[in-house]
Amino acid sequence: MDKINKRFIIQVILSIKDDTMRWPRSLAQFSIGKGAMSLPCLLCDEPQNNHHHICDTCWHDSLQFSLCHSPIELTQHPHALATMELKAIDGLCVPFIYQWPLSHLITAYKYQDKTAVRGALSAFAQQGLQQWQLAGGVGGNGEELSIDFNKAPDVWTLVPNHAWRWLKRGFNHLDYLQTMALNISNIKDVSGGITRTKHTHSQAKLTAHKRRKNLASAFQVNVDLTGQHILLLDDVVTTGATLSSLAQTCKQAGAVKVSAFCLAWARLD
């Protein structure tokens, strides 16, 4: 593929805003066909009739196994402070621990293109949001949470993918978090104005130092964030390097507060 064609493809992708979350997913789900509604449970292969393709027993067990008993504010968590880079992040909240079965579902969707998993991940995200809303801004140990979803931030964005990674996958692997964000009142989506300009290597197998180097100057903000409290949405947080890099860029664009909500925390022991 010559440089002109590559440049044209990138321009087309970046010009598509809200639709970038929808049309590839619609095509992918179309390939599943009508049989998608009769898929067995994604975890035990037994019959199920839920929209998220997980039977009632596995759903209950999943919440018991992975859902934190109370919201975790990582910016106040001793283990997180000792093992993560939280520079420029004013608050980082997680409702789940990154372990089976949630880890299995995220991997299947993100790297194996198993599109039927999307409904299950969306259900997990909604459950996490509901838990946070019920907390009323107070954590399990009585600490004040940085994000009170009953007093929503001003704007939100998904952590952006580079255009080439989006093109390779054919969809945004965080699209189910977009669905969750739409259920938060009085908060504006600015995802279309924040881009990933640096095509970085996958963070999954990099050390903390290499992650920081990998993400240097990786993001660009093309929207006015002056005086705004912005919420970053991502699937998994490990070292916090990606969120820290994006948070710093947002503050350079005028944001006065940057919070993050990640579906799961992959603890570094």
Q: What is the pLDDT of residues 46-100, one digit of tens each?
A: 888 776 889 988 888 888 777 776 778 888 888 888 889 888 899 898 989 998 8
Q: What is the pLDDT of residue 184?
A: 80
Evaluate if residue 207 carries a pLDDT over 90. no
- Confidence label for 214 from pLDDT (cuts 50, 70 and 90): low
161 contacts 175 by C-beta, under 8 angstroms: no
Return the SS3 of 211: helix
Evaluate if residue 223 carries a pLDDT over 70. yes
Q: What is the pLDDT of residue 21?
A: 38
User: Which of 258, 234, 244, 229 minimizes the C-alpha distance to 90?
Assistant: 258
Q: Which residues contact 203 (CB under 8 A, 6 or more apart)?
A: 211, 214, 215, 238, 241, 242
Residues 148-175, mean pLDDT to the nearest whole number: 82
- Confidence label for 139 from pLDDT (cuts 50, 70 and 90): low
- Confidence label for 160 from pLDDT (cuts 50, 70 and 90): very high
- Confidence label for 213 from pLDDT (cuts 50, 70 and 90): low
What pairing do the DSSP bridges indicate for beta strands 257-265 and 91-97?
Answer: parallel
H/E element, 51: none
Give the residue, 159 or 86, on which the prediction is more confident: 159
Evaluate if residue 174 carries a pLDDT over 60. yes
Residue with tokens 């080439």: 164
Give the residue, 93 or 25, on which the prediction is more confident: 93
Give the residue, 206 or 67, on which the prediction is more confident: 67
Residue 47 has a CB neighbour count (10 Å cut-off) of 10
- Confidence label for 262 from pLDDT (cuts 50, 70 and 90): very high
DSSP-derived secondary structure for 120-152: HHHHHHHHHHHHHHHHTTB-TTSPBPS--TTS-
Residues 141-168, mean pLDDT to the nearest whole number: 78
Percentage of the chain with pLDDT > 90?
33
Give the residue, 6 or 96, on which the prediction is more confident: 96
- Confidence label for 8 from pLDDT (cuts 50, 70 and 90): very low
The angle subtended at Cα 182 by Cα 74 and Cα 37, nearest 5°, is 100
Residues 12-30, mean pLDDT to the nearest whole number: 38
Separation of alpha carbons 116 and 178, rounded Å: 17
Rg (CA), the chain: 18
pTM over 0.85: no
| Lateral strand order in the sheet of 67-73 | 67-73, 91-97, 257-265, 229-237, 155-158, 188-189
Q: What is the pLDDT of residue 159?
A: 95
Evaluate if residue 24 carries a pLDDT over 60. no
**Polymer length in residues for the chain:** 269
